[in-house]
């Protein structure tokens, strides 16, 4: 699955972001399609490294994870202050879905603290839709919490 995602996003990155993605004439189409397009090769590379790790074969239910994460990323699309592209909101939702919220000591790990501080810092970067990333992560964490409580 991750190879299909990487190939599809790479081909669409080479073709470039279509004009209809930037004018928001069809907002729900833009909301559904923006994870497939990337601003440049560096943006694509960083996101594809995360795709490679998050959708590794050792994780079960990758199809459900991808579908649920895509739904969340579509819902949070309006939170961006400008038209956006990139699969990172979908990845943030996936991270939230996979987070073991109730595992003791989870929040005290240095890598986790850095991740959350960097995510919070994205709010202050003008070219990054920080609130949409935070909303994606929060939705994933919320549903992870619901799943763990059962």
Quick one: pLDDT at residue 149? 66
Could you tell me the CA-to-CA distances from 72 to 67, 91, 95, 128, 134 in Å, in that order?
9, 10, 12, 18, 11
Quick one: pLDDT at residue 9? 96
Domain count, the chain: 1
Reduced to 3 states (helix: H, G, I; strand: E, B; else coil), residue 100 is coil
Name the pTM for this structure: 0.90
Q: How far apart are CA 82 and CA 78, in angstroms?
A: 9
Token readout for 42 is 């560096």
CATH code assigned at 23: 1.20.1540.10
Quick one: pLDDT at residue 22? 81
Quick one: pLDDT at residue 136? 96
Token readout for 26 is 């069809």
Token readout for 96 is 């939230």
Quick one: pLDDT at residue 150? 59
Helices 130-149/62-76 angle, 10° precision: 140
Quick one: pLDDT at residue 36? 95
Q: How far is CA 2 from the centre of its chain?
A: 14
Containing structural domain, residue 69: 2-149
Quick one: pLDDT at residue 12? 95
pLDDT digits (tens), the chain, 150 positions: 899 999 999 999 999 999 888 876 888 899 999 999 999 999 999 999 999 998 988 867 788 999 999 999 999 998 888 888 999 999 999 999 988 776 777 778 888 889 999 999 999 988 888 999 999 999 999 988 887 765
Q: Is the dihedral of CA 120, 125, 130, 131 positive or negative?
A: positive
């Amino acid at each position: 699955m991750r190879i299909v995602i990487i190939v599809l996003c790479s081909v669409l990155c080479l073709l470039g972001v279509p004009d209809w993605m930037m004018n928001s004439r069809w907002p729900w189409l833009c909301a559904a399609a923006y994870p497939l397009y990337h601003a440049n090769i560096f943006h694509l590379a960083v996101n594809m490294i995360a795709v490679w790790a998050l959708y590794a074969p050792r994780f079960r239910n990758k199809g459900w994870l991808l579908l649920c994460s895509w739904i969340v990323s579509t819902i949070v699309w309006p939170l961006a202050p400008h038209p956006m592209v990139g699969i990172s909101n979908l990845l943030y939702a996936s991270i939230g879905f996979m987070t073991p919220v109730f595992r003791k000591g989870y929040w005290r790990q240095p890598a986790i603290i850095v991740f959350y501080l960097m995510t919070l810092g994205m709010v202050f970067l003008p070219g990054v839709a920080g609130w949409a990333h935070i909303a994606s992560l929060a939705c994933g964490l919320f549903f992870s919490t619901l799943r763990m409580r059962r």
